[in-house]
Amino acid sequence: MTLGTDTPGGTGVVPRGMLRNICYLSSVCDLTPGEAIAVASGNTALAHGLDVGFLREGAPADFLICGPVEGSAGTTLADAIAHGDLPGISYAFIDGKPVVSGRSEQTPPSRYTIRLEAGCPCHGDGAGRFNCN
């Protein structure tokens, strides 16, 4: 099984299309949130012969830091997805660099305040480089 959207299509870009699909699979189709994310990332990458979509040493990885939003039925990210609630995205990293910082304008804010400390050995060196080990 793979997952995708037809965006951009005749009606334009569907914001959060993949997140909506992941939430649907998890809340209605009896997949765990982890399984739904794997279908959307790893399975789809394998089907297209891409070296992405897996968290493993040496593999390229873009990632999100997110959590449940106010009013979500879930108390954790996985629980919110299992209930079909879109997560609030606080940070998005592409090629190790934050491209969304503090809050996405495309999702409601996360219920939890998430702040990365510049200079922290795990979260950055204060110069915009985030190379977590």
- In this prediction, what percent of the chain has a pLDDT beyond 70? 83
- On whether residue 38 sits in a domain, the answer given is yes
Ordered strands of the 88-94 beta sheet = 63-67, 88-94, 97-101
- On whether residue 74 sits in a domain, the answer given is yes
For range 74-95, the mean pLDDT: 90
- C-beta of residue 82 within 8 angstroms of C-beta of residue 33: yes
For range 88-102, the mean pLDDT: 82
Question: Residue 95 is encoded by which pair of tokens?
Answer: 């090629």
**b/e code 43-79 from CB counts within 10 Å (16+ = b):** ebbeeeeeeebeeeeeeeeeeebbbbbeebebeebbe
**Could you give the residue ranges of the DSSP H alpha helices within the chain?**
17-28, 33-38, 44-47, 77-82
Domain that holds residue 31: 17-101
Kindly report, residue by residue over 9-59, the tens digit of the pLDDT: 777 776 788 888 999 999 999 899 999 988 888 888 888 898 888 877 877
Beta bridge partners of 13: none
Question: Residue 126 is encoded by which pair of tokens?
Answer: 């204060």
- On whether residue 117 sits in a domain, the answer given is no
For range 89-106, the mean pLDDT: 81
- On whether residue 42 sits in a domain, the answer given is yes
- On whether residue 25 sits in a domain, the answer given is yes
- On whether residue 107 sits in a domain, the answer given is no
- Whether the pLDDT of residue 132 is over 70: the answer is no
Arithmetic mean of pLDDT over the chain: 80
Q: Residue 119's pLDDT is what?
A: 53
Torsion sign (Cα): 22, 28, 34, 40 = negative
- On whether residue 126 sits in a domain, the answer given is no
- On whether residue 33 sits in a domain, the answer given is yes
pTM: 0.74
For range 89-107, the mean pLDDT: 81
Q: Which amino acid is at 57?
A: E
Q: Residue 118's pLDDT is what?
A: 58
Alpha carbon of 106 to those of 21, 38, 86, 88: distances in Å? Answer: 16, 23, 11, 9
The total domain count for the chain is 1
